[in-house]
Structure 1
Amino acid sequence: MMWGAIIAASAALAGVLLQSLVGDRRTRVERERRELAAAIQAVLEAAVQLRNKQYLKIAARREGQTGGPEQRRERYDARSALTSAIDTIHLATSNRQLLAAAQDVFDSAVALGDAADDDVETAGLRAREAHTVLRLAGNHVLYR
C-alpha cells in the first residue's frame, strides 16, 4: 500500500514538473516571437521615416534648395535609426530570408536619396516593394 502511494506521489510530481517545463518553453517561445515582431516593426517604421526624409531631400533639390545642416542631420538620424533597427533584427533571428529582406529595405531606402531625378520613381518603387517583402516575410515567420 505504501509503495502505491509513493508511486502515485512520484507520478504527480513528475506531471507537475513536466507541465512546468512545457509552460516555460511556451513562455520563452512566445517572448521570442514578440521580440522578433517588435524588431520587424522597428525596421519597417524606421524605413518609412528614412524614406520620408529622402523624399523631402529630393523635393528640396527639385526646388533648387540644397538643404541645410538640420535637414542633413535629420536624414542621418533616420538612417542611424534604421541601422539600429537592423541590428536588433539580427539579434532576434537567424532567419536568412528575413535578414536579407531587412537589408534590402535598408539598401533601397538609402539608394532612394541618391537617385537622380529621372530615377526617383523607380527607386521609390523598389523601396516600397522591399518594404512589402519584409512585411510579408515577417508575417510568414511569425504566423506560419
Structure 2
Amino acid sequence: MSSTIIAVLGTLAGAVVAGLMQQLTTARAERAAQAERRRQALVEAVPGLLAALVEYRGHQYMRLRSLQEHVPETPEERKARYASRGAVTHAMDRLYMATRDQALLDAAQAAMDTTFAFEPHDRTDDAVGEQAREAHSAFRLRAAVYVYDHR
C-alpha cells in the first residue's frame, strides 16, 4: 500500500514539474516571439524614417535651387514639399512605437531636427545640409547597431 502511495505521489510530482516546465517554456517562447516582433517593427520603422528624411531634404534642395534661379514654387511643388515633411513626422511616430531606446530616439530626433533646420528661404549654405547628412548617417549607424545587438 505504501509503495502505491509513493508511486501516485511520484506521478503527481512528475506531472506538476512537467506542467511547470511547459509553462516556463511557453512563457519563454512568447517573450522571444514578442522581442522578434518588436525588432521587426524597428527594422521597418528605421528605413522608413531614413527614406522620409532623404525625400524631404530633396524637396528642400530643389526649393533652394528654384530660389537661386528665381523660379517661383508651384502649388503642386509646395504641396509635395509639405507632404514630405508630414511623412517625416509620421515615420518618426512609427519609430517611437517601435522602440523605447532613448539613445536611438535621440539620434533620430537629431537627424530630423537638422533636416528641418535646412530652410531654402534662408539661402542656407551647404554646412546645414552637411550637418543633416551627418546626423542621418549617425542615426543609421546607431539603428543598425541596435538592431543587430538585440537579436
Deviation at 1:93, TM superposition (A): 2.1
2:99 equivalent to 1:93: yes
Counterpart of 1:124, as a letter, is: G
Distance 1:117 1:15 in 2: 66
Q: RMSD between aligned alpha carbons?
A: 1.6
Distance 1:5 1:95 in 2: 47
The answer for the alignment partner of 1:14 in structure 2 is: 20
2:9 equivalent to 1:3: yes
Counterpart of 2:32, as a letter, is: R
Counterpart of 1:38, as a letter, is: E
Deviation at 1:118, TM superposition (A): 6.0
SS in 2 for 1:65: coil
Counterpart of 1:44, as a letter, is: L
Deviation at 1:45, TM superposition (A): 1.0
The answer for the alignment partner of 1:138 in structure 2 is: 143
The answer for the alignment partner of 2:38 in structure 1 is: 32
Deviates more, 1:67-76 or 1:106-115: 106-115
Structure with larger Rg:
2
Question: Where do 5+ consecutive residues of structure 2 fail to align?
Answer: 1-6
**CA offsets, 1:76-126, max 9 Å, x none?**
00000001111222222222221121112212222223374461x212111
Distance 2:138 2:121 in 1: 21
Q: 1:92 to 1:75 in 2, by over 3 A?
A: same
Distance 1:115 1:131 in 2: 22
- Give yes or no for contact 1:115–1:123 (8 Å, CA) kept in 2: no
SS in 1 for 2:62: helix
Distance 1:51 1:123 in 2: 11
- Give yes or no for contact 2:67–2:121 (8 Å, CA) kept in 1: no
Q: 1:3 to 1:118 in 2, by over 3 A?
A: closer
Please, which of 49, 60, 68 is the counterpart of residue 54 of structure 1?
A: 60
Q: 1:111 to 1:38 in 2, by over 3 A?
A: same
Deviation at 1:30, TM superposition (A): 0.8
Deviation at 1:133, TM superposition (A): 0.8
TM-score of the superposition, structure 2-length normalised?
0.86
Identity of aligned residues (%): 32
